[in-house]
Structure 1
């Protein structure tokens, strides 16, 4: 598709040269009956250069290439209207180029908003802490949590303050959907001040993409999904989203286990292989249950979580199942995961992914 779009840009640009050649009598063009003034011919040449220049910067993936495409279409369509009898069919490629350029612009704006949220999250202050998590720090935790902390390598590890990770996976957007949509996601956490932003790109089918964001900052959550980064499909805020995103943050400390001793988390034992974590933040309190294997690895995380944020949304059993655990940067963390809801119709596994990269910042 990339090559096809480049060809459309180049060929469309070459066709615009006809107006320039006609205006300056540089070629015999008897089939074009409309006279073209020299100033108009110069504009046809400018449009030609813009289209072919846009093709070049698009090929090299230059940020903002879409601006040239939009400008070229605006100029071109004005010329087409002025020469409608001979040039009306140029409207078709103009519409194609405009559509692709507008979608690219929307993607750029979406990514820019995500980067702004990331900067906002990472700018939160870091409270002073001891740099190394010691065995004394975990002695009051329930035994299965202590076992996990030791097994994960968190004991003796530098306390983590911020996290960046990348995921590749596949997703379903509704129960009964047969095909999985390929996904690429990036997530950033501030561990000191519970907050995160998760951004995902989904290819629902060829040439149909969704951009999604899950955000928790200043005690508030926001779930946003847009078709082509342009048309809102889901845009939910409110108390239920706040609570659901806070539970998500708590469940995802499996990637930065030194957070288990942070003051905003309290632990209660369930049995020899499970414990319940209670997180209190910004006047919200929520619970998540951690289940461990006999060797101390996280096996799954469960919660009763709101499925959505609308008035009809209700709490449903939610489970994150660990399929693979690996050692990364000296910590044993889940690296292959699937996420499910328990519905009246049965289990709906909607997301499965691999953690492909993770970077930590530590308290000074």
Structure 2
């Protein structure tokens, strides 16, 4: 009995140490992201920037932004929701914490479930997907050009949470399609891709679709956004769903709901 209790105690200690180590690694990655970020919060959005944009794109920015507001440089958010580790498996509960920089494309996300912790990131021009079982055993460590492109696609789709990032820039061009959709062309160094963006009559972005790598082959990847709310003076969707649109059918694997979000907050302040 004593031996069993000792074994259990050692296992609990190992799990605790793994959790602490994971926290410190994540905190360090956040510091690196912030150190690389460029401050653009002194830049001001004006309605005149919308001149010449496709009509549904103008409708979107008129709906989510206010004339004269500051650009968003940094974002920190938390979410809860559901996630699938495999498209054939059931959804499990997940809680996430995420940080973004806008002017220099970067993000770091940590998703935590009962058994594993995932870290998805694009920092200093390098993407990485790492999954750890019990915060100890690394079971996935994805890197390379395909991962880099996929992480940039995630960062761009999640820019609906900091919409000044979707304004025309050296990286972003909007091209008209019809009254409720437009093509968003993205270019950053060697990474380039297009997203088809659909809007409703109110002006909300409802879907963003692109071709994303899945096991060495690009497949249609769709993000659905809904439940827009005004937070910190910006209208954003607090609910999002991510779907692979495969020949076998549509496979939803992530359903997130934003529970807290802060803009342009200094890293020295308490994490949400």
**TM-score above 0.5:** yes
Contact 1:250–1:288 (CA under 8 A) maintained in structure 2:
no
| Whole-angstrom distance in 1 between the partners of 2:24 and 2:66 | 34
**Residue of structure 2 in register with 1:156 after alignment:** 68
Q: Give the one of 318, 328, 336 matched to 2:231.
A: 328
| Whole-angstrom distance in 2 between the partners of 1:149 and 1:339 | 23
Counterpart mapping for 1:271-282 below 5 A: 271-282=178-189
- Measured after TM superposition, the shift of residue 154 of structure 1 is 4.4
Contact 1:163–1:189 (CA under 8 A) maintained in structure 2:
yes
Q: Give the one of 94, 99, 103 matched to 2:15.
A: 103
| Whole-angstrom distance in 2 between the partners of 1:283 and 1:189 | 20
**Residue of structure 1 in register with 2:171 after alignment:** 264
**Residue of structure 1 in register with 2:145 after alignment:** 239
User: Per-residue displacement from partner, 1:256-308 (whole Å, max 9, x unpaired)?
Assistant: 1111223321221222111122222232112222211011011111111112x
> CA 1:211/1:347 → structure 2, altered by over 3 Å: closer, same or farther?
same
Using the size of structure 1 for normalisation, the TM-score is 0.69
User: Per-residue displacement from partner, 1:171-225 (whole Å, max 9, x unpaired)?
Assistant: 11112223x211110110010111000111012xxxxx11001000122210011
User: Per-residue displacement from partner, 1:71-116 (whole Å, max 9, x unpaired)?
Assistant: xxxxxxxxxxxxxxxxxx5322111111111111111111211111
Q: Give the one of 238, 243, 261 matched to 1:358.
A: 261
Q: Give the one of 118, 126, 138 matched to 1:220.
A: 126
Unaligned runs of 5+ in 2: 266-272
| Whole-angstrom distance in 2 between the partners of 1:140 and 1:221 | 34
Using the size of structure 2 for normalisation, the TM-score is 0.92
| Whole-angstrom distance in 2 between the partners of 1:360 and 1:201 | 23
Contact 1:148–1:296 (CA under 8 A) maintained in structure 2:
yes
**Residue of structure 1 in register with 2:270 after alignment:** none
Q: Give the one of 163, 167, 170 matched to 2:79.
A: 167
Query: Aligned to 1:156, what secondary structure does the other structure show?
Result: coil
Contact 1:218–1:282 (CA under 8 A) maintained in structure 2:
no
Counterpart mapping for 1:1-364 below 5 A: 89-126=1-38, 131-178=43-90, 180-203=91-114, 209-261=115-167, 262-307=169-214, 312-361=215-264
User: Per-residue displacement from partner, 1:1-41 (whole Å, max 9, x unpaired)?
Assistant: xxxxxxxxxxxxxxxxxxxxxxxxxxxxxxxxxxxxxxxxx
- Measured after TM superposition, the shift of residue 159 of structure 1 is 0.7
Higher relative contact order (CA closer than 8 Å, sequence separation 6+): 2
- Measured after TM superposition, the shift of residue 128 of structure 1 is 5.5
Bigger strand share? 2
| Whole-angstrom distance in 1 between the partners of 2:41 and 2:237 | 26
Count of aligned pairs: 265
Contact 2:40–2:71 (CA under 8 A) maintained in structure 1:
no
User: Cα RMSD over matched residues?
Assistant: 1.8
- Measured after TM superposition, the shift of residue 131 of structure 1 is 2.8
- Measured after TM superposition, the shift of residue 125 of structure 1 is 4.5
Contact 2:81–2:94 (CA under 8 A) maintained in structure 1:
yes
| Whole-angstrom distance in 1 between the partners of 2:191 and 2:66 | 27
Deviates more, 1:186-195 or 1:149-158: 149-158
| Whole-angstrom distance in 2 between the partners of 1:250 and 1:183 | 22
